[in-house]
Amino acid sequence: MPRILITGASSGIGAALARHYAVAGTSLVLVGRNADRLEAEAQVCRARGAAVETAALDTRDRDAVRALVHATDAAGPLDLVVVNAAVNGGNQRGEVETEETAFETGDINYTGSLNVMLPALSLMLARGRGQIALMSSLAAYAPLPDAPAYSGAKAALVAHGLALRQKVGPRGVRISVVTPGYVKTPMGGELKGWRPLEVSAEQAAAVIARGLAKNRDVIAFPFALAALARTVLLLPESVRRVGLYAFRFQRRKRR
Ligand SMILES: NC(=O)c1ccc[n+]([C@@H]2O[C@H](COP(=O)([O-])OP(=O)(O)OC[C@H]3O[C@@H](n4cnc5c(N)ncnc54)[C@H](OP(=O)(O)O)[C@@H]3O)[C@@H](O)[C@H]2O)c1
């Protein structure tokens, strides 16, 4: 029975992934802060035949997360852990992100992700088997001026995940980094204006699951936007900024 833990499963991409994997014979552990929304998603997944447990907690609580990962794994070894919970942070009104928002974003999106990933990794290394998906963003390659801490945390996840992948792959643990473009979710909706090549959460979940089944190092989509974001990162900053101004102009026009 595949056993899968997903953080941020009460909404958006995490919920869509939970539904994607929710078939008879799968055991899901859904994690988020909002117990009601989590339970609503759990009901949907149970109706599809999966066995579902929920855990309402904040991924910043390192001890609680560690205890959850260990207890869950002891009850049945985890095959896949999707480290997905995050907030957008930033400032969409054009002002500089506040210190408080930046720290909160870093704490949830990077440290909170490590709180989930590292205990799972230790357990998987000990038995020489398992898979971890780290949810980053194309913002890791094309940093968003309105969300600097978000962009920084997502870039850190790419670096951390890919560095670990090389080290732990030969020991039986597969790590993939996921870098979506625009996805239609509550968080995606916080970005007002033009969202080129936006996909639904269900489409995103299908692409992610396909990439994980193939053990891709980076699961980047949509292809055109991912290729652009990764190429632009190689350009001199002065050239990249011209493109960024053009992009922001389009975004404002379409607000
Ligand atoms: N949407 C996009 O366009 C897009 C693009 C690129 C990457 N991503 C990434 O995809 C992932 C999912 O985003 P989404 O768009 O699906 O966002 P979303 O709909 O806002 O969902 C975020 C999820 O994270 C959970 N969460 C947030 N902070 C948490 C915390 N401290 N502890 C536990 N759970 C927490 C939320 O649950 P509670 O509110 O119940 O805590 C919710 O289930 C994120 O890593 C995001 O950065 C999204």
| Amino acid identity, position 11 | S
- Collect all residues with Cβ–Cβ distance below 8 Å to 210 and sequence separation of at least 6: none
What is this structure's pTM? 0.95
Chain CA centroid to CA 147, Å: 16
Q: State whether the Cα torsion 205-206-212-213 is positive or negative.
A: positive
- Atom number in ligand 1 closest to CA 38: 40
d(CA 50, CA 25): 6
- The H or E element spanning position 218 is strand 218-221
Cβ–Cβ < 8 Å for 2, 80: yes
| Protein residues whose CB sits closer than 6 Å to any atom of ligand 1 | 7-14, 32-34, 37, 58-60, 84-87, 108, 112, 135, 137, 180, 182-183, 185-188
Range of the domain at 104: 3-253
Report the pLDDT averaged over residues 111-132: 98
Structural domains counted in the chain: 1
Percent of the chain with pLDDT over 90: 82
Give catalytic status of residue 150 as yes or no: yes
Smallest CA separation from ligand 1 atom 12, residue: 13
Report the pLDDT averaged over residues 225-229: 93
Dihedral pair phi/psi, residue 10, rounded to 5°: -90, 0
Report the pLDDT averaged over residues 135-157: 96
Report the pLDDT averaged over residues 229-251: 79
Smallest CA separation from ligand 1 atom 7, residue: 137
What CATH number should be reported for the domain holding residue 69? 3.40.50.720
Q: Which of 21, 110, 141, 150 is catalytic?
A: 150
Report the pLDDT averaged over residues 123-145: 96
Q: What is the pLDDT of residues 158-215, one digit of tens each?
A: 999 999 999 999 999 999 999 999 999 999 888 777 889 999 999 999 999 999 999 9
d(CA 25, CA 20): 13
Instruction: Give the pLDDT confidence score for residue 94 in this predicted structure.
Output: 81
- Atom number in ligand 1 closest to CA 180: 6
| pLDDT higher at 12 or 247 | 12
- Atom number in ligand 1 closest to CA 139: 6
